[in-house]
Amino acid sequence: MEGKVQGQQPLLTPYKMGKFHLSHRVVLAPLTRQRSWNNVPQPHAILYYSQRATKGGLLITEATGVSDTAQGYAHTPGIWTKEQVEAWKPIVEAVHAKGSVFICQLWHVGRVSNRDFQPNGQAPISSTDKALTPQIRSNGFDVAEFSAPRRLRTDEIPLVVNDFRLAARNAMEAGFDGVEIHGAHGYLPDQFMKDEVNDRTDKYGGSLENRCRFPLEVVEAVVKEIGADKVGIRLSPFGHHGQAGDSNPAALGLYMVESLNKYNILYCHMVEPRIRAAGEMCDCPHSLAPIRKTFNGTFIAAGGYVQKDGNNVVAEDRADLIAFGRWFLANPDLPKRFAVNAPLNKYNRETFYSPEPVIGYTDYPFLEDVSYEP
């Protein structure tokens, strides 16, 4: 980063994540942007991601579909076809040219979909056949309608696990440094984990162990395919996204990280309990501290962070890294702005998901290059 650092902010100290030497702890959170036509990443993403790349930085892609049944939103990227893999390659190359580590987030929406997004207009798949009620989209005004899902048969679940495995292999082919399994926010793995959704009576339902079986099978398959040193997972045990809550989220979070320790994965990316759903923060008695203490790998915290509390959490060893979403979206040079305590661009929520290749995507201004004295 250019400019001189004022003091040594915890967020701007180096960190070794597995084999990766990070120069700071400001992570680009995975952010759905809906600018990938026909589920194929586009050339404008080259600029978007490379703008936010720094030497020794860590970037996580927007959620990326693992199969043709994984989609639930318009213009979101995938990584299940050769065309998609080839489209990701120049994006990855541009990020690597800036010296950043680049992780691909693997995604299956499960029941957060409708027949319009599914192959041959079929029903979305899930742990359950319970439908979601219509919801206001994250933009605050569009209403999302969801088709009743089809409950996966027990013998079909290994096929979905295999979709994640193949997507992880494809991510390696595209040049990514690793993958993050999206196990949060009410999507398919969360639909198995959370007892508000999962009403199965087979080995994938009922007890906590059974409900966590599918996401852990995904982890095991991906680890076997590409190596534990390249695998992370995102979890939101306390969240209620997509009407997926749990009666004992603290126990769920602890059970998952205890189980993940057996696989020695690279990191766990956990959403703070204060984030109940998209854009919805609440006062919450829960803390990630017991989960953080239990997990053996790198721990990334996310959810409504700003510079001050990010620094505090790292200083107090409550997380190793902090993922920033909206503020990194609006400030492509966010680590530099933190370094010089510069003001931040305000984000425009109206363009978060608009299919614009420039506006609200690559046109947020950078700080002028100025030298600051400590």
Distance CA 185, CA 270 (A): 11
Active site residues: 187
Within its chain, how far is the Cα of 224 from the centroid?
Answer: 21
Q: Is 326 helix (H, G, I), strand (E, B) or coil?
A: helix
Question: Which residues, 6+ apart, have CB-to-CB distance to 119 below 8 Å?
Answer: 68, 69
- Nearest-CA neighbor of 179 among 295, 265, 288? 265
Q: Are 166 and 96 in contact (CB under 8 A)?
A: no
Fill in the DSSP letter of residue 351.
G
| Cα 48 from Cα 172, distance rounded (Å) | 21
Q: Are strands 298-302 and 321-324 parallel, antiparallel or unpaired?
A: parallel
Tokens 């989609």 — which residue? 71
Q: What CA–CA distance (Å, rounded) separates 3 from 134?
A: 48
